């Protein structure tokens, strides 16, 4: 067990982020001036990802960003949770997650995405994994709607049976400006066409999602109001009832607890306060 943990530590990379893209997955000295631009994630090399294949991608599915990141958008992979949940802790769980990542990437490349579709992925263990280059727009099997379509609806999103958010044109639609973070698993309910038992994300996965989203908001100079969920910008049930009701509260989604976004707001506000204090202390 210790050797695996050490391996993961050594394989963890600091993904350098900026509004324009990334500077690669590189290890930097602790306390470096770039610390505010780092998100720690298990590297693609560690989970044995294939190299990206942009030349084999369909139009629009592997495009370098022309605009800054404006939204952090939450997804799920819709992977059978029985292959992920209930594994023994430690190596077996991590191997199951890495195998799932490779399977998702293979499928996405076969679909013409050029790479795994998402920028960051989270396993049930709470491990954060490096996905596609953050300087590349996300891929999608849906058509992302433009702001003019989904913005008027942002105060209330109906349940999946009533979704009418539909983008125009070919897939992936208006993905420019979105940075995607995806949980491994399938959190749909039986009412959303799911045949396997309903699951909610593990506590560890929820904690990593909150921490990562809060971090990304500061990296990209965004606020929690800029956090979206896939079903809010496209005609899809993603990321399923089991996750959606944790993200959106009663005010925006009947029956939702909104517990995850409440914690994102708490962490975001706390870090904003700390940064303001640091800035004031630096004044002469």
> Which domains does the chain carry?
48-278 (3.40.80.10)
Q: Which of 189, 175, 100 is nearest to 141 (CA)?
A: 175
* Model confidence pLDDT, tens digit, residues 98-147: 999 999 999 999 999 999 999 999 999 999 999 999 999 999 999 999 99
- Report field, pTM of the whole predicted structure over 0.85: no
* Model confidence pLDDT, tens digit, residues 34-46: 344 567 899 999 9
Instruction: Tokens for 171, please give them.
Output: 């897939």
Report the distance separating Cα 27 and Cα 7, nearest Å.
14
Report the distance separating Cα 15 and Cα 262, nearest Å.
26
* Model confidence pLDDT, tens digit, residues 251-265: 777 778 999 999 999
Report the distance separating Cα 126 and Cα 209, nearest Å.
8
- State yes or no: pLDDT of 270 exceeds 70: yes
- List the single range of 10-19, 161-170, 198-207 with lowest mean pLDDT: 10-19
Q: Residues 77-101: what's their mean pLDDT?
A: 82
Q: Which of 94, 60, 4, 40 is nearest to 219 (CA)?
A: 40
Q: What is the pLDDT of residue 282?
A: 43
Q: What is the pLDDT of residue 133?
A: 95
Q: Residues 141-170: what's their mean pLDDT?
A: 70
């Amino acid at each position: 067990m210790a050797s695996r943990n050490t391996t993961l530590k050594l394989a963890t990379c600091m993904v350098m982020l900026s509004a324009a893209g990334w500077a690669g997955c590189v290890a930097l000295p602790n306390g470096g001036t770039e610390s505010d631009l780092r998100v720690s994630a298990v590297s693609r090399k560690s989970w044995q990802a294939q190299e990206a294949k942009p030349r084999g991608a369909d139009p629009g599915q592997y495009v370098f960003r022309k605009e800054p990141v404006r939204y952090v958008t939450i997804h799920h992979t819709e992977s059978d949770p029985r292959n992920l949940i209930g594994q023994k802790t430690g190596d077996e769980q991590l191997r199951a997650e890495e195998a799932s990542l490779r399977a998702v990437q293979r499928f996405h490349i076969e679909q013409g995405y050029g790479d795994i579709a998402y920028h960051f992925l989270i396993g049930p263990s709470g491990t954060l994994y490096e996905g596609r280059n953050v300087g590349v727009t996300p891929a999608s099997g849906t058509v992302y709607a433009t702001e003019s379509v989904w913005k008027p609806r942002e105060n209330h999103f109906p349940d999946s049976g009533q979704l009418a958010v539909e983008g125009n044109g070919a897939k992936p639609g208006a993905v420019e400006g979105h940075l995607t973070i995806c949980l491994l698993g399938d959190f749909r309910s039986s009412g959303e066409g799911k045949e396997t038992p309903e699951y909610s994300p593990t506590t560890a996965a929820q904690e990593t999602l909150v921490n990562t989203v809060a971090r990304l908001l500061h990296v990209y100079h965004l606020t929690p109001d800029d956090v979206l969920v896939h079903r809010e910008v496209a005609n899809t049930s993603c990321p399923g009832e089991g996750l959606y009701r944790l993200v959106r509260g009663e005010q925006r989604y009947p029956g939702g607890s909104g517990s995850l976004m409440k914690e994102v707001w708490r962490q975001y506000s706390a870090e904003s306060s700390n940064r303001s204090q640091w800035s004031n202390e630096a004044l002469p």
